[in-house]
Chains A and B, each alone.
Chain A
Amino acid sequence: MYVLRRLPSLIATLLAVSILTFLMTSLLPGDPALQILGAENATPEAIAAVRAELSLDDPLPVRYLHWIGDALTGDFGRSYRTNEPVSQAIVERLPVTAEIGLLAIVIALAIAIPVGMLSAYRAGTRTDKVISSTSFGLLAVPNFMVAILLILIFAVWLGVLPATGWVNFTDNPVQNLRSALLPALSLAIAEMAVYTRLLRTDMIATLQQDFVTMARVKGVSNRRILFRHALRPSSFSLLTVAGVQVGAIIGGSVVIETLFAVPGVGRLLLEAVLVRDLLMVQGVALVIAVSYVVVNFTVDILYSYLDPRISHGRSAARV
C-alpha cells in the first residue's frame, strides 16, 4: 500500500528533524543557567549548580538520548523559566495556532479558488490583469503591515472586531471566532495571492486540453466544465503549495500572535527562544516540525486520491 511504502521515509525525516532541533537549540549562544538565575544571582557557583541540576554539562549525544526517550512518551520536561510542563503548554497553545492557521487556509482558498478560476477563464482580459496585479500587490505586503491595517480599520475605526486578545472556543464560540478572524485574515492575504496565481496558471493549461474541448463540443455548460472537469486536474500545484505553505503560516504565526496578543505556539516559541528556555524551545520546535512533516505526508496521500495513477507508481505527468 502507498501509505506503508512512504512510512520509512517519514520516520527517517522525523528522526532527522528531532536531531536538528535539538542540536540547533543546544548550540545557541547564551547560557540558560544565567537566564534562570538572573544576572544579580549569577555567581559562578550558582551557575555551576544550575547547570549540573539541568545536566547541561553532559555530552550532547547523551542529552539528546535522554530528551528524545522522554519525548517519545510525551514527556518534554518542565520549562526552566515557568516550571510549567512543556507538553501541557503545547497542548494548550497548539489548538489556538491550528485554529488560526486553518481559518487562514480556508479563507485563502475560499477566495482564491473562484478568483483564480475566473482569472484563468478570462485569461488575458482586463479582469485577469486586475486580479493578477492585485495578487502581486498583496504578495508584496508583509503580514505585520496587513495586521496593523486590519486592526486600524476593523477595531479602531469601525469598532466591529477586537484589536487584540483571545477567547477560548469552549468559553464562547462566537467571541472565539471574532478573536480569530483578524489574525487569520492577516495570514490569509499573502496565501490567497499565492493560491490565486497557481490555480490560474494550472487551469489555463487544463482548459487547453482535449477533454475540455470535448466537453465544450458536447455542449456542457461553462460552470460545469470549470468545477466538474477542470478544477480537480488543476489543483495539484495548489495542493502541494498549500502543504508547503503550512510552514509559512506557522512562521507567520510568530509575528501575528505577538501582534494580536494571542496565546499560540508561535508566541510561546518566541518568548522561549528569547530567554533560552531550551526544553520549551526544543519541545515546541519538535512538535511544529512534526506537524509540518505530517501535513505534507498527508498531502502526498491526497495526490493519490486526486490522481489514482500516483498510487500505482506511475508518472503523474498529464497525458
Chain B
Amino acid sequence: MRGLRRPSRGPWTRALAAAGLVGVLLGTAACGGGDGDGNGGVEPGAQSDGGEAGDPVEGGSITIGLEAETNSWLPSEGTFNQPGLTIAHAIYDPLMQRAEDGSVQPYLAESLEANEDLTEYTLTLREGINFHDGTPLNAEALKTVFDDYLKAPTSRLAASLAEVESMDVVDEYTVVYNLAATNASFPDALITAAGWPFSPTAAAAAGPDAGANPVGTGPFVFESWQRDSRLVVKKNPDYWQPGLPHLDEITFRPIPDEDTRLASLQSGDIDVMQSLRQSTVVRARELDGISNYENLGSNAGATTLNTSIAPFDDVRVRRALAHALDQESLIATLGGAGITPAQTQFFSEDSPYWSEKVADAYPEYDVEKAQELYEEYINDPDRSDGKPVGTPLSFTFRCPPDPSLNELAQLIQSFWSGIGAEVEIEQLEQAAWIQRMLGRDYETGCTRVGGDGDPYVLLDGAFTEGPLNMSAYQDPRIDEQLENLKATRDIDERKAAIEEIGLVLNEEAIHTYVGGTLTVLAGRDAVKNIDGWTFPDSTTKGTGAANADTMWAHVWVTD
C-alpha cells in the first residue's frame, strides 16, 4: 500500500485545478492547470504515516462520493466493484481480510485451519456477535447463508465457490468447508462476498427485496438507500470491536462523472471521493486541503490476442505486435504519463507478486525487432493464415466507445501500421465486446488484465479451459505451475510459481500491456486515518486504502 500526503498549497491551485476541469472537457491541456502543474512526475506517493492522524475523535458524519451505484447489497446477488466493496465493508465484516504483507488473516472469523491436503477448511467464529437485527452469528447462520444463498443456482458466487461442495456444522461456532480438490487459495474467497455473513432471518423476511435491505455484523447499520442518489449507514452501537466505529453516520453517494465528483469534493458537498482514473488522481493532488491516499492497482489496460485463430497463433506475430508498441506513449494517451509505470505482467509494482525477472522478459519497444519478426512471418511460405507470401496482416482491433480508449486504439493502430499491418478499428459497446471475447469471436482489442485477488484464481481462470480464457492460450508449463500454486500457501513457493507463469506469458506475448490502474481515496484533511485500519488485534496492519477501498470503522473526522 502506498499513500500520498501533500502539504497545503495556496488558493491559486484550487482555481487552476478548476481550470483543468474545463480544460479536460474541451480536450485541451489547460496550461498550468490540472495535469501539468509540474507535479505530474511525482511517484505514486511516499508511504503515508498513520501516526500523523492524531487521537481519534468520536462522532460526526461524512459523505463519500463513489464512482458507481451497486445493483444489490445481498452478497450472493450483488456485483461488488470498488464502490460496492467499500460500502459493503461498512455494513458487513469479512470473515478473512488481506494484511499489509499480502497474507490472508482472520477478521470476523476467530481462526481458519486447513487439513493436510488443503481440502477441508475449519472455520471458528468469535463468540457473542449478533447481526444488526439481533440474530446471533453462529454456525447455523453461516450454513443457512451458504446453502440457501451462496450456493443457490442464481448466485453470482457460483464460480468462486464452485469447488466448495458443502458446509458442515461442527458445533455452535465451528463450520467446515468441504472442497472437491486441494485448493490453497480458498481463504481468499472468504475475503470477498462469499465471506460476508449476513442475517439469514432478515434476508428470508425481505424475500426478493433482500438486496435493498442489507443486515450484517459490520460497524455500521444500514439506514436507507435511494438508488443512484444516496445510501446512509449509522453507527452500530453494539459493534463487537471495542471503541469502533468512530463516526456516527456515513452517507455514500454514487456520482458517476469524474469531473463533477471532483467538483463536489472541491465545493465541500462530499468529504471523501474515490477514483480509478489517473487524470482525476492527478487533479485531486492539486487541491488545497485535500489528502490523496493512492495505490497502484494491478488491473492494467492491455490488449489480448486471440491465439485460437491465425495469425495470432504464431508467436512471431504476437511478439512483433508487442515489440511495435511504445508503452510510454500509450500510457500518455490515458493521462498517466509520469504517474503510472508501464505494466509488464499481471501484477503491478505495488503487488507482492511482481517480479523483476518477468518485467525484463517483456518484449520491449523495438521497431526493428518488430519489423524483422513481422517480415519473417509474412514471407514464410507456411504462414499459419495460409495467405500468399508477402500479403500484409489485416485484422480488426475492437474497443469499447470510451474517448480515451478510442485514442488508445488509434495509437495502437498507428504503431502496428508502422510495421505494415492493416488494422481496422471497430468500436462496440462493453456488453457486446465481452460477449464476443467470451465466444472468442474476435481478433484482438482493448481489455483489462491482472487483478489484486488471489493469483491462483486469476491465472487459473485466464489460462485453463473455460469462458475466462479469452486469449484461448494454454500451455503445459503454465498448467504445471498452476498445480503448484494450488497446492501451497507458502508465499515464496507461490511467488516462484507465479514468476514462471509470467515468464511463459511474456515469452509467448499473449498480452501487450499499457499501465496499471492508479486508484485514490481523496479526502478533506479533517477526515483522518483513511488508510490506517488494522485487524481486530489492533496491531496487524491492513492494506490501507488499496484499490480506493478502506475499512470505514477506523476513520474519524476532526470537525
Contact = CB atoms under 8 A, between A and B. Distances in A.
Interface of A: 29-31, 34-35, 37-43, 46, 49-50, 78, 81-84, 89, 92, 144-145, 147-149, 151-152, 155-157, 159, 162-166, 168, 258-263, 267-268, 271, 274-276
B227 A263 contact: yes
B256 interface: yes
Given A38-B159, A39-B468, A84-B211, 12 more contacts: A30-B434, A39-B438, A39-B467, A40-B461, A148-B259, A164-B65, A164-B253, A165-B253, A166-B226, A259-B257, A261-B255, A263-B228
Contacts of A35: 431
Nearest to A151: B263
B452 to A, nearest CB: 15
B25 A165 contact: no
B394 interface: no
Given A40-B461, A162-B267, A83 B208 contact: yes
A113 B357 CA distance: 72
Given A42-B467, A149-B22, A83 B77 contact: yes
B359 interface: no
Given A40-B160, A156-B267, A163-B264, A148 B468 contact: no
Nearest to B466: A43
7 contacts: A31-B435, A92-B227, A163-B260, A163-B267, A164-B260, A165-B269, A261-B257
A145 B229 CA distance: 22
B212 A84 contact: yes
Nearest to A142: B25
B266 A164 contact: no
Interface string B61-77: 00001000101100001
In the complex, the 10 A-B pairs of residues with the closest C-beta atoms, listed nearest first? A30-B431, A263-B228, A261-B255, A263-B229, A155-B267, A29-B432, A40-B159, A163-B264, A30-B432, A163-B263
Contacts of B253: 164-165, 261
Interface string B1-22: 0000000000000000010011
B158 interface: yes
Interface residues of B, number: 51
Interface of B: 18, 21-22, 25, 65, 69, 71-72, 77, 79, 153-154, 156, 158-160, 208-209, 211-212, 226-230, 253-257, 259-261, 263-264, 266-269, 428-432, 434-435, 438, 461, 466-468
A17 B466 CA distance: 41
A268 B468 CA distance: 29
B228 A261 contact: yes
Nearest to B228: A263
Q: Which of B18, B72, B79, B263 lies at the interface centre, i.e. has the most chain A CB atoms within 10 A of its CB?
A: B263
B431 A275 contact: yes
Given A40-B160, A41-B159, A263-B228, A165 B212 contact: no
Q: Which of B159, B211, B268 lies at the interface centre, i.e. has the most chain A CB atoms within 10 A of its CB?
A: B159
B477 to A, nearest CB: 24
A148 B267 CA distance: 13
A152 B16 CA distance: 12
Contacts of B212: 84
A158 B459 CA distance: 51
Given A38-B79, A145-B25, A165 B229 contact: yes
Q: Which of A164, A260, A271, A274 lies at the interface centre, i.e. has the most chain B CB atoms within 10 A of its CB?
A: A164
A276 to B, nearest CB: 5
B254 A261 contact: yes
A24 to B, nearest CB: 14
A83 to B, nearest CB: 5
Contact of B269 (A43, A149, A152, A164): A164
